[in-house]
Structure 1
Amino acid sequence: MTVTRPDISYAVGVLSQFMQSPQKAHCDAVIHVLHYLKVIGDVLRAIVHLLEELGFLVIKPIKMFCDNQVAVYIASNPVFHERTKHKKVDCHFVRDAQGTRSSVVTVGYMMKPSREEDFAKRGAFPMYPTQNGLIFVPLTFDLPLESQLQEVDVVLHKATDEILTIELNSSSEFSNKISYSKGMQELERYIRHNPECCVIDPLNNIYPMLDRLRIEEILLGLEDLNREGQCRIRAPRFIKVDNFKEANLGGRLSEAELLLPSIVKPQVACGVADAHSMAITFRIEDFEDLSVPLPAVIQEYVDHSSLLFKFYVLGEKVFHAVRKSTPNAVVLFSSYEKNGLKPITFDSLKSLPTAKEDVTSKTNKHALDLGLVTDAAIWMKRTLDLTIFGFDVVIQEGSGDHVIVDVNYLPSFKELPNDVAMPAFWDAVKASYESRKGKLAKDPFP
């Protein structure tokens, strides 16, 4: 089969090495190959033939991409057809690929299964080339990684899925305090020994996204975008704490003009189990027995009419969606009183306290300044040097300040329609690959 189906020759070749003692991972990979054959082999041919029988002209050929010379000869030389045992239609699978093979970019992606499934369901990883010439293949840590990486042009990763522990001592040494899974360590070594390997995005670029303090410090640079007489965009006021019982905590809050209530977050932003364990505090006494992991960032709580704007940067394109958010402080204080004046604790991934009223009926009279936030998105993309990221904006009641309260790397952008998000996602990956490839050509040892 690998002769007439060269598109699976690599996968079959790797799997055949484990025929004597296959494990579950190998069986799963076999099922993936069979699923691929079923979808690509049968469905695409059936669709093409059906369209032809109905009288529709299929102008754009169905392309299969391979570098198997036997299959290339069969596809290009009609004399070979009678020497094969398969139907003639099978012999044409790779013919159309001859003129376009060099333009296809193979993207190897790695992320946790649940995230991969979410992306795949939305069509992010089609099993055929995208409209802009990308083909996505999964990379697995269950098989030797080096041989897989040699078959792809660029690696798309969600490295935060593979973090085991993070220790925070100083931002300058942040990368040295991350403990990755064994598979991710293998990728790190490969990148270190093969600097020509193109990665979206380089691991050094995502390190600030793991540190809420570092992100807050970077966002202070947004002040340069503000103009007199217009809405401001800014970071929330914040301080870092290493001990909730420090004697001068109240004084430090006052110096930072950080009024209560406040929201308390772990400095570690993602990658570990308790990175999303947070609390809302109303009195200085609330900090004494707080369970939020240290070190932590105390951030101003912004009254924003329970309206959250989620922004997504996909390459050069900026999108946004609107969601319910936490209610204003007066509503939260009622819950605080009912809870015996205890801090409101929650996991931001599971139980974020949200407003019950309709987000369309708001008291905040300030409209979103889309141009201002788009300028901020462009500034952040340039500053962070990331391909795909997201950030949350709230508009402060009274002042109209646009406050960026969270930033995250490679989000799922599930609020966006698939027919809009997926092409933008593919274009972002392609553009980033071409840009980083160009930089590597100029400086192979960055």
Structure 2
Amino acid sequence: MRLKEEMSCRNEDEREEFSEQKLNHHHQPLFFTTPTLEPGFPLQGKPVVVGYALTSKKTKSFLQPKLKDQARIKGIFFVAIDQSKPLSDQGPFDVVMHKLLGKEWRQIIEDYRQTHPEVTVLDPPDAIQHLRNRQFMLQAVADLNLSDSYGKVGVPRQLVIKKDASSIPDAVAKSGLILPLVAKPLIADGSAKSHELSLAFDQNSLQKLEPPLVLQEFVNHGGVLFKVYIVGETIKVVRRFSLPDDVCKRELSKNAGVYHVPRVSCAAASADDANLDPHVAELPPRPLLEKLAKELRHRLGLRLFNLDIIREHGCGDRFYVIDINYFPGYGKMPGYEHIFTDFLLNLVQGKYKKRSC
């Protein structure tokens, strides 16, 4: 049976959530662990049908030809969900993937999960919503204690300001946060504005910021960011350039008030990675990342997300998670077509085993 892919999006202006940084960057994969698949899939020659509800931009970046080709070989077919029709009337699906905004859509998916327990929904809408507010996004990491797992993982100290920019200097002074501070929009809704970062260097500049926002202490990290992609139990890491430490020194010397950073890595996009300090470029230890990913999968209730991690400069074993994104730009992850299709097959395999017991 040939399944026809179709793409439907009622709102073409709908913004892509947590869009990936559009910068010149360098990928260096750390590893990926793909679970072993049992023979005989798809089950009894039956295709695996994956319904997807994504923005048009996310559909284009994720459903690349190399993914669709690999899926076809493995008997997986992607079918666009028609948002103008009841979800229960479509399918039948083995898996439903979604990443759309709005309370109405969240309710549709939640109702579908309750009435179709045989379908794997990636992921629960309430769990996804938790990552859209930076006030709570990093709490699961802050609650962890991974100090004995080949390094220490924490989050930068931060302060939430919901309104009244004039009160920010006093709030910062009372909190004990140390300048410079990274200012991030409180809501991470995927819009261009939600990705705009600023560095505030003095007390007077704090009043120029626009609440609601989160203020994080800037951690010197050598200008390198580690993107840790998680797909179920699989982990893969790539390096990205980030805001270099010398920006802080340069702007501080100029007594600059607020330094606007539209994308976190644009200031270092032209850096030559071959000349990176080995102590800065060294990837986080694999056992540390495995334990961190396992804990967060459980605490967040998610299977598709990524972590932005930095290493404190001069402290080889101290790492900070500075952001968590749901269903990130997997299309930029090396080998994603093999990792993702094996992940989908394992989901269906696991469901089949449970039903057979």
**TM bucket by the smaller chain?**
0.7 to 0.9
SS in 2 for 1:334: helix
1:274 aligns with 2:189: no
Instruction: Quickly say closer, same or farther: Cα 1:437–1:299, change in 2 above 3 A.
Output: farther
Which of 253, 259, 262 pairs up with 1:344?
259
Instruction: Quickly say closer, same or farther: Cα 1:200–1:433, change in 2 above 3 A.
Output: farther
| Matched residues, number | 320
Which of 122, 134, 140 pairs up with 1:218?
140
1:380 aligns with 2:301: no
Aligned to 1:200: 122
SS in 1 for 2:199: strand
Kindly report the root-mean-square deviation, in angstroms, between the aligned alpha carbons of the 2 structures: 3.4
CA–CA distance in structure 2, aligned partners of residues 127 and 397 of structure 1: 40
1:290 aligns with 2:241: no
1:325 aligns with 2:246: no
Provide TM-score, normalisation by structure 2.
Answer: 0.77
Contact 1:389 1:410 in 2 (8 A): yes
SS in 2 for 1:137: strand
Instruction: Quickly say closer, same or farther: Cα 1:209–1:434, change in 2 above 3 A.
Output: farther
Measured after TM superposition, the shift of residue 196 of structure 1 is 4.7
What pairs up with 1:26-425 in 2 under 5 angstroms? 99-101=44-46, 104-126=47-69, 129-131=72-74, 133-148=75-90, 150-159=91-100, 162-163=101-102, 179-180=103-104, 186-222=108-144, 224-227=145-148, 231-243=151-163, 244-246=165-167, 248-254=170-176, 258-272=177-191, 274-291=193-210, 293-294=211-212, 296-328=213-245, 330-335=246-251, 341-348=256-263, 352-354=266-268, 356-363=270-277, 365=279, 367-371=282-286, 372-400=288-316, 401-417=318-334, 420-425=335-340
One-letter amino acid of the structure 2 residue matched with residue 201 of structure 1: D
Contact 1:210 1:270 in 2 (8 A): yes
Instruction: Quickly say closer, same or farther: Cα 1:198–1:121, change in 2 above 3 A.
Output: closer
Q: Which runs of 5+ in 2 are unaligned?
A: 10-41
Measured after TM superposition, the shift of residue 98 of structure 1 is 11
Contact 2:227 2:306 in 1 (8 A): yes
Instruction: Quickly say closer, same or farther: Cα 1:155–1:421, change in 2 above 3 A.
Output: same
Instruction: Quickly say closer, same or farther: Cα 1:284–1:439, change in 2 above 3 A.
Output: farther
Find the structure with the greater CA-based Rg: 1
Q: What percentage of residue pairs aligned between the two structures are identical?
A: 24
1:7 aligns with 2:2: yes
Measured after TM superposition, the shift of residue 441 of structure 1 is 10
Q: Greater relative contact order (Cα 8 A, min sep 6): structure 1 or 2?
A: 2
CA–CA distance in structure 2, aligned partners of residues 426 and 337 of structure 1: 51
Contact 2:8 2:80 in 1 (8 A): no
> What CA deviation, in whole Å up to 9, does each residue of 1:193-239 have, x standing for no partner?
545543111112212211212122111133x21129x5322112212
Q: Which runs of 5+ in 1 are unaligned?
A: 1-5, 16-23, 27-96, 164-178
Instruction: Quickly say closer, same or farther: Cα 1:361–1:195, change in 2 above 3 A.
Output: same
Instruction: Quickly say closer, same or farther: Cα 1:114–1:334, change in 2 above 3 A.
Output: same
Whichever structure has more helix as a proportion of its residues is 1
One-letter amino acid of the structure 1 residue matched with residue 64 of structure 2: K
> What CA deviation, in whole Å up to 9, does each residue of 1:333-373 have, x standing for no partner?
424666x7231123338x84336432332347353332222
One-letter amino acid of the structure 2 residue matched with residue 304 of structure 1: H
Moved more, 260-269 or 115-124: 115-124
